[in-house]
């Protein structure tokens, strides 16, 4: 066996752990795969010489790769998404192993991913490495380019934000939740009549500039008009789930560990009478979002 074959074999032994680590840091299976692949490329270029602890070396390199990706993501965050860009097709963010994708999805809740996405890249790296993978603060400091006390402070600050995230039980607002779930079920089926059944005939939808198509009205009135528009996003409905948005019932669209859109409903009786569609990244970051568990 050549040195390269030995490295490849050892890397494959570490791949599941590295992918789980990268997914917790990045929140996206496809980005996690990219980070793991870049880690392998760096290992294959470096070779085994001088690496005493391969597992630790791989962890440090993967973390640095993820840190660079998070910083790049943060730099792009304020770039507006094209309001008329098509929603991603279902499954485009999935890897080649459906069973492993399910394991990843179960390993980190959407609620946690939303909170993690609001952390700075160093906070996220410090928290994930220490609290989830038991990496020492001394090692973390070297990865993020900070002192050890600073690394401790970053992880502590992240931990407070994660622990302070609201947790909502499945029984919260039961009547309103039934309305929201009926709306979502109809959206996933592409069921126009099902949407109309839970919308007030005179429903009013307010759409911010990031969620509206160019030239489209920012206020939409009438159940039939808005239901037709909502169905245009039905292919992305598998990534949508019920939530409380600033204390009101609603829906959130989360892809790649990022909150991309929120719908905040006003419900009277068993009908949705008003909707706020929020896609502006700055507004999304300021929302108090609590995912409604099953």
Architecture of domain 3-163: Up-down Bundle (1.20)
- CA 267 – CA 188 distance, rounded (Å): 20
Domain residue spans of the chain: 3-163, 174-291
Identify the CA nearest to 237 among candidates 50, 58, 91, 115. 91
- At 103 the pLDDT is 45
Domains 3-163 and 174-291 share a fold: no
pTM of the model as a whole: 0.62
CA-to-CA dists, residue 196 to 175, 226, 271, angstroms: 18, 9, 9
Identify the CA nearest to 199 among candidates 173, 232, 244, 231. 231
- At 171 the pLDDT is 44
The CATH number fitting domain 174-291, selected from 1.10.3720.10, 1.50.10.10, 3.30.300.180, 3.10.450.50? 3.10.450.50
CB 217 within 8 A of CB 225: no
Q: 94 Cβ partners below 8 Å, 6+ apart?
A: 29, 30, 101
- At 274 the pLDDT is 93
pLDDT averaged per 10 residues, the chain (length 294): 82 92 86 93 86 90 93 63 35 43 52 80 93 92 93 91 62 77 93 94 88 74 91 85 87 84 90 92 83 67
- At 222 the pLDDT is 93
- At 244 the pLDDT is 86
What is the DSSP pairing of strand 271-278 with strand 258-268? antiparallel
What is the DSSP pairing of strand 248-255 with strand 271-278? unpaired
């Amino acid at each position: 066996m050549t040195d390269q074959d030995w490295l490849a074999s050892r890397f494959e032994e570490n791949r599941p752990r590295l992918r789980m680590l990268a997914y917790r840091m990045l929140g996206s299976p496809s980005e996690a795969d990219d980070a793991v692949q870049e880690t392998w490329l760096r290992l294959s270029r470096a070779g085994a010489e001088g690496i005493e602890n391969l597992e630790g070396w791989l962890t440090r390199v993967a973390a640095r790769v993820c840190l660079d990706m998070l910083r790049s993501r943060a730099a792009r965050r304020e770039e507006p998404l094209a309001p008329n860009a098509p929603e991603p097709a279902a499954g485009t963010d999935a890897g080649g192993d459906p069973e492993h994708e399910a394991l990843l999805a179960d390993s980190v809740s959407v609620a946690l991913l939303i909170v993690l996405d609001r952390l700075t890249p160093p906070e996220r790296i410090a928290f994930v490495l220490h609290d989830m993978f038991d990496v020492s603060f001394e090692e973390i400091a070297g990865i993020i380019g900070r002192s050890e006390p600073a690394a401790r402070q970053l992880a502590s600050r992240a931990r407070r934000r994660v622990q302070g995230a609201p947790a909502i039980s499945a029984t919260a607002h039961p009547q309103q939740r039934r309305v929201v779930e009926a709306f979502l079920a109809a959206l996933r089926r592409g069921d126009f009549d099902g949407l109309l059944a839970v919308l007030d005939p005179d429903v009013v939808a307010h759409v911010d500039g990031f969620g509206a198509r160019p030239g489209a009205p920012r206020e939409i009135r009438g159940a039939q008009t808005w239901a037709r528009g909502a169905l245009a996003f039905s292919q992305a409905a598998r990534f949508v789930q019920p939530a409380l948005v600033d204390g009101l019932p609603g829906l959130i669209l989360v892809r790649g560990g990022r909150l991309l859109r929120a719908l905040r409903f006003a419900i009277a009786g068993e009908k949705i009478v008003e909707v706020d569609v929020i896609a502006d990244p700055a507004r999304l970051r300021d929302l108090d979002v609590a995912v409604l568990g099953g």
